[in-house]
A and B are shown apart, each in its own frame.
Chain A
């Protein structure tokens, strides 16, 4: 016999099981009216697939499973659908829920049904779907859809299957009687589950107060080839709790917040097992179950096989209830069941017991006294919590502390309440605290979401305004351009492209200055938090845009003059973006998966699948991109050497990257690793190819390569015109900014080795340009200074004077502004002063500009 691992705590309430095991299971009569809730399980409610007035046959599907966690519902007997509307359902809340009502015709006529001839010939997925379509949900506890538990995916390796026959709640004997009378069904069901999960151990946990059932079960197990252990556990409440049973039978504890499958264990209620058998071998969906009808107020306590949807009252009548003595009607056991006020409430798939109690059995709770900290609750708690502390915290609404004391590990078994000598309704306190915390968290989530939504909307609106503005500008610029082009073509048809560039350059420089101005204004405004920030911001953005436009136009023109633009396959960029997008997606999904895994979320499986998929996609995209790139590089053999070099670098970069990716993939034992490996090989080949091509080109075009920089240096002709010092200066500054920009780009792109190569080259080119422009400028200035000196003017001094004059102007302007606010008397004087200063400044400027 297997070893038993005791769990902490537990209680021994009076069993009261004998009463209902004397009589055999009887079929409950078919009621006149069946009320079948469309949600009897955890998960999404089934979707009705019949309409009012329709004739249905026994076993016909009347509501279809929808969503991953859901099961179908079937008609329990033949008859007419009379209603699909909310009715009272068995639920602790006492709320109503949608039900399908059937008026039975008394024929109890079956829909043609047939079991599977050989379920082993079916692929597991199909079999699981079959079970789902036969409405099988857990019949012991919460009604978790059975197919979900049987379809765990590959990442849950099931090593132990536990069949829960402990039935530890007092009064209930439904499972006990099921085993006694239908043990062969259980064995059949276990075989089906074994086929699906293929566990290494199968354990049936049963309490030692069911000696008869144990004997029968042992006999039945002789007829199976499977190696099934019956583990007899001592009678103790709540040994039938899933977590407790797992510990009892295996010594393993289900980690907090996880499910048994996470530790390789699957639990199935014994009733569910029998139902699986019936569905697979006989094709009968779950439309009836064994219900213990017992309690002091029923004359003949017994187990009835009742159709799902039978009103409780029918069962009570069958068991000869005495309405006069009945004081409490409990569905489920006395420890965790709930009371029902309305005996028209139907039996559902999870209803294992109905207790019609007399007052003496379940007396009203005496008034609770103060907690004397006796610690009895702690000794009883199977979750090894400190119920007393939880009670204090719940009572004083210190939910943080309650949570810290593992409130959410409380299984609400009621053991602590049971033993509390002060009659404190402890479980009720915990339910209250849990609900409060859940509400709070939901509230928090909601407000977070609302805030995010609001912020997103705000950003969207701002963006829309900006976009509009930009579009308008664009249109204007376009119009201006076409106008200018027209003018240019009509006026001076012979205008050289160099001139055009000059113009464009100036335009670009001007816009840039504007941009800078706008920026500084914006910053100043921001500094003193002026309220026209928004406006300035807009201005700045506009300026920025204009600057970019100008720059673009300039570059276009430049590249037009320069050697024909490097022919890059147009779709490479696109491919690159695609690859990047795929990568980001993958990363996101991975993160989500990690979070989900950490939290032990149910969705982790699906996420995992998604990640694997994305991984593949990302790799594929990356490969396509790399191929295209290297292809483009190597195919254009006419390209000058730099291009070749670039492509080699690129190939190397991609190859290196792919290799790194492969390594991580292997480390994570990702399914995409194989594919990636192939891709990496390919890339390597490409890289070597590119390298070879480059070398070949190098040897061929060595002299040409040395000439290249000189040719690509374009501003030279413009510099010949001596008057264009300003243009030269601008040229230099442009080069400088460009250089800087590229450098920062490089810094940020450093990680992305592909781009870095490109940028590096760009920088080298720009540095060269900058240097040349500077040199030219210096030369010109030198000439000017000399010329000025010849006229007896110190250009440097003049410059300083001009600057001083300008400063004086601004200063005066400022003081005028101040004066306008404070001392209007001084205003006049100041204004005249300003005028003089302005004149002086203009004079200086003029002189200066003569020499520049």
Chain B
């Protein structure tokens, strides 16, 4: 009997980082389904394409950094990043756009910082922000929900979609693309919101977006239930965005979109449940997470309403990622048996 000395604890919860990542990926399924239902095969094709690229890039980097390959590849984190990028990009994004985004996310935003757990910014959002700035034309052209065409469910055939993404995109693109509701709202000219709602086709079909948001929220609630993340970030995020939107909507309903619109279009739900909750780049303590969420929610509203970009989830999250270490320093929890929580990094003298 060879007994060895091991210090406590001797038991371990059967969780693993890979398992958590897998669960998060699974939680995106409702969103993926909804996207596919309303916007066609493009989302699925993009997810597969992005994942393949992500694994390749990740493997190359791990090899280059002389780390054990399978040990790190097994943590599923690259695939999660790829899925999130694919969901954030327009469904008919050309193949190279996805490739650039995945490269930026995996190689630059993650591995160059030291791999999993070390990245100060959410890799998917770094990638998204970069391609949004670099390729505004491709990025702002979304597919109109297929619900628009004909009667019933009538989406572009899989093969057509495939060739659209990997073939000559530019010629065919215009046939299928349209602006997003947020674009419409933003660039509505002198119209009041009321007039915009009546005038715009896109806005008339906003239901598709609502549905997709609801699907994301479902997945998010599942993760919340599974205690993968705590309620603090998403709740603070959504409540602050909703609260500010309500405030301005009450002041002037003609100028400002209603809070429901803000919460259910664009990347709000995806951001609240899948991006802002990314633990690596967010604040640590529960108190900190609340400030983090409030920051994101407020920034989204500010940029959407007064900024240059119609949607702002990526920018807001990146900005708050930047602030997370600072927030951490000032939001240490009050430890048991202490009167007050401590601040900063050192004892004050």
CB of B120 to closest CB in A, whole Å: 11
Within 8 Å CB of A417, what residues of B? 9, 12
Within 8 Å CB of B227, what residues of A? 376, 379
- Indicate if the CB atoms of B13 and A92 lie closer than 8 Å: no
| Chain B window 1-42, contacts with chain A (Cβ cutoff 8 Å), 1 for yes, 0 for no | 101111111111101110110000000000000000000000
CB of B286 to closest CB in A, whole Å: 8
Kindly report which residue of chain B lies nearest to residue A364, judged by CB atoms.
B6
| Chain B window 326-349, contacts with chain A (Cβ cutoff 8 Å), 1 for yes, 0 for no | 001000111111110010111100
- Indicate if the CB atoms of A339 and B6 lie closer than 8 Å: yes
* B:138-153 near A, CB below 8 Å: none
* A:510-533 near B, CB below 8 Å: none
- Indicate if the CB atoms of B334 and A384 lie closer than 8 Å: yes
Is A709 located at the chain interface by the 8 A CB criterion?
no
Apart from the given pairs A328-B4, A369-B116, 12 other A-B contacts in the complex at a CB distance below 8 Å = A7-B336, A254-B336, A254-B337, A329-B3, A370-B118, A375-B229, A388-B284, A401-B345, A418-B12, A421-B19, A421-B20, A431-B7
- Indicate if the CB atoms of A373 and B336 lie closer than 8 Å: no
- Known contacts A326-B1, A338-B7, A374-B20: does B337 contact A404 (CB below 8 Å)? no
- Of the listed residues B227, B229, B285, B289, the one surrounded by the most CB atoms of chain A closer than 10 A to its CB is B285
Kindly report which residue of chain B lies nearest to residue A409, judged by CB atoms.
B335
Is B279 located at the chain interface by the 8 A CB criterion?
yes
Kindly report which residue of chain B lies nearest to residue A340, judged by CB atoms.
B3
* B:281-339 near A, CB below 8 Å: 282, 284-286, 289, 328, 332-339
Which of A51-59, A422-430, A451-459, A746-754 is near enough to bind chain B?
Answer: A422-430
* A:332-383 near B, CB below 8 Å: 332, 334-341, 355, 357, 361-367, 369-376, 378-379, 382-383
Contact for A386 among B11, B71, B228, B333, CB less than 8 A: B333
Q: What CA separation (Å) do A388 and B324 show in the bound complex?
A: 15
Is A816 located at the chain interface by the 8 A CB criterion?
no
Within 8 Å CB of B342, what residues of A? 404-406
| Chain A window 255-268, contacts with chain B (Cβ cutoff 8 Å), 1 for yes, 0 for no | 11110000000000
- Indicate if the CB atoms of B11 and A334 lie closer than 8 Å: yes
Chain B interfacial residues counted at CB < 8 A: 49
- Indicate if the CB atoms of B15 and A419 lie closer than 8 Å: yes
Is B181 located at the chain interface by the 8 A CB criterion?
no
CB of A560 to closest CB in B, whole Å: 61
- Known contacts A370-B115, A406-B338, A421-B16: does B8 contact A334 (CB below 8 Å)? yes
What 4 pairs across the A-B complex have the smallest Cβ distances? A414-B9, A370-B117, A256-B337, A374-B279
Within 8 Å CB of A32, what residues of B? none
Within 8 Å CB of B338, what residues of A? 255-256, 406, 409
Kindly report which residue of chain A lies nearest to residue B74, judged by CB atoms.
A369
Is B75 located at the chain interface by the 8 A CB criterion?
yes
Is B280 located at the chain interface by the 8 A CB criterion?
yes
- Indicate if the CB atoms of B337 and A371 lie closer than 8 Å: no
- Known contacts A362-B11, A406-B342: does B279 contact A386 (CB below 8 Å)? no
Kindly report which residue of chain A lies nearest to residue B228, judged by CB atoms.
A374
A-B contact pairs, 5 of them (CB 8 A): A13-B11, A334-B9, A340-B3, A386-B284, A404-B344
Q: What CA separation (Å) do A92 and B7 show in the bound complex?
A: 8
Q: What CA separation (Å) do A361 and B9 show in the bound complex?
A: 12
* A:188-235 near B, CB below 8 Å: none
- Known contacts A388-B284, A400-B346: does B17 contact A369 (CB below 8 Å)? yes
CB of B158 to closest CB in A, whole Å: 35
Within 8 Å CB of A14, what residues of B? 11
- Indicate if the CB atoms of A341 and B284 lie closer than 8 Å: no
Chain A interfacial residues counted at CB < 8 A: 75
Kindly report which residue of chain A lies nearest to residue B20, judged by CB atoms.
A421
Q: What CA separation (Å) do A364 and B337 show in the bound complex?
A: 34
Contact for B335 among A355, A366, A385, CB less than 8 A: A385
Contact for B280 among A243, A366, A372, CB less than 8 A: A372
Is B154 located at the chain interface by the 8 A CB criterion?
no
Contact for B337 among A361, A370, A401, A409, CB less than 8 A: A409
Within 8 Å CB of B228, what residues of A? 374
Q: What CA separation (Å) do A336 and B7 show in the bound complex?
A: 8
* A:239-265 near B, CB below 8 Å: 243, 247, 253-258
Q: What CA separation (Å) do A334 and B13 show in the bound complex?
A: 12
Within 8 Å CB of A367, what residues of B? 71
- Of the listed residues B71, B279, B282, B334, the one surrounded by the most CB atoms of chain A closer than 10 A to its CB is B279
Contact for A370 among B8, B116, B285, CB less than 8 A: B116
Is A389 located at the chain interface by the 8 A CB criterion?
yes
Contact for A336 among B9, B12, B286, CB less than 8 A: B9
Q: What CA separation (Å) do A284 and B254 show in the bound complex?
A: 87
Contact for A328 among B3, B13, B328, CB less than 8 A: B3
- Indicate if the CB atoms of A401 and B1 lie closer than 8 Å: no
Q: What CA separation (Å) do A362 and B9 show in the bound complex?
A: 10
Q: Which chain A residues have a beta carbon within 8 Å of chain B's beta carbons?
A: 7-8, 11, 13-14, 92, 94, 170, 243, 247, 253-258, 323, 326-330, 332, 334-341, 355, 357, 361-367, 369-376, 378-379, 382-386, 388-389, 400-401, 403-406, 409, 412, 414, 417-419, 421-423, 427-428, 431
Within 8 Å CB of A335, what residues of B? 8-11
Within 8 Å CB of B13, what residues of A? 11, 13, 418-419
- Indicate if the CB atoms of B8 and A414 lie closer than 8 Å: yes
- Indicate if the CB atoms of B335 and A404 lie closer than 8 Å: no
- Indicate if the CB atoms of B4 and A341 lie closer than 8 Å: yes
Within 8 Å CB of A379, what residues of B? 227, 230
Q: What CA separation (Å) do A208 and B295 show in the bound complex?
A: 42
Kindly report which residue of chain B lies nearest to residue A336, judged by CB atoms.
B8
Within 8 Å CB of A375, what residues of B? 229-230, 279, 284, 289
Q: What CA separation (Å) do A431 and B8 show in the bound complex?
A: 11
Q: What CA separation (Å) do A457 and B155 show in the bound complex?
A: 95
Within 8 Å CB of A418, what residues of B? 9, 11-13
- Indicate if the CB atoms of B118 and A427 lie closer than 8 Å: no
- Indicate if the CB atoms of B335 and A384 lie closer than 8 Å: yes
Within 8 Å CB of A326, what residues of B? 1, 3
- Indicate if the CB atoms of B336 and A423 lie closer than 8 Å: no
- Known contacts A338-B7, A379-B230: does B17 contact A372 (CB below 8 Å)? yes
Q: What CA separation (Å) do A427 and B6 show in the bound complex?
A: 12
Within 8 Å CB of B336, what residues of A? 7-8, 243, 247, 253-254, 256, 382-384, 409
- Indicate if the CB atoms of A404 and B12 lie closer than 8 Å: no
Within 8 Å CB of A404, what residues of B? 342, 344-347
Within 8 Å CB of A323, what residues of B? 1
Within 8 Å CB of B333, what residues of A? 8, 378, 384-386
- Known contacts A388-B284, A419-B15: does B5 contact A339 (CB below 8 Å)? yes
Within 8 Å CB of A373, what residues of B? 117, 279-280, 282, 284
Kindly report which residue of chain A lies nearest to residue B9, judged by CB atoms.
A414
- Known contacts A384-B334, A423-B16: does B5 contact A362 (CB below 8 Å)? no
- Indicate if the CB atoms of B6 and A378 lie closer than 8 Å: no
- Known contacts A401-B345, A409-B335, A423-B16: does B285 contact A378 (CB below 8 Å)? yes
Within 8 Å CB of B116, what residues of A? 369-370, 372
- Known contacts A409-B338, A427-B7: does B285 contact A386 (CB below 8 Å)? yes
Within 8 Å CB of A256, what residues of B? 335-338
- Indicate if the CB atoms of B230 and A341 lie closer than 8 Å: no
Q: What CA separation (Å) do A372 and B77 show in the bound complex?
A: 10
- Of the listed residues A170, A338, A384, A405, the one surrounded by the most CB atoms of chain B closer than 10 A to its CB is A384
Q: What CA separation (Å) do A762 and B258 show in the bound complex?
A: 93
Kindly report which residue of chain B lies nearest to residue A417, judged by CB atoms.
B9
Q: What CA separation (Å) do A365 and B6 show in the bound complex?
A: 10
Within 8 Å CB of A378, what residues of B? 284-286, 333
CB of A446 to closest CB in B, whole Å: 23
Q: What CA separation (Å) do A257 and B75 show in the bound complex?
A: 40
Q: What CA separation (Å) do A330 and B11 show in the bound complex?
A: 11
Within 8 Å CB of B339, what residues of A? 255
- Indicate if the CB atoms of B20 and A339 lie closer than 8 Å: no
- Indicate if the CB atoms of A253 and B12 lie closer than 8 Å: no
Within 8 Å CB of A330, what residues of B? 10
Within 8 Å CB of A355, what residues of B? 10
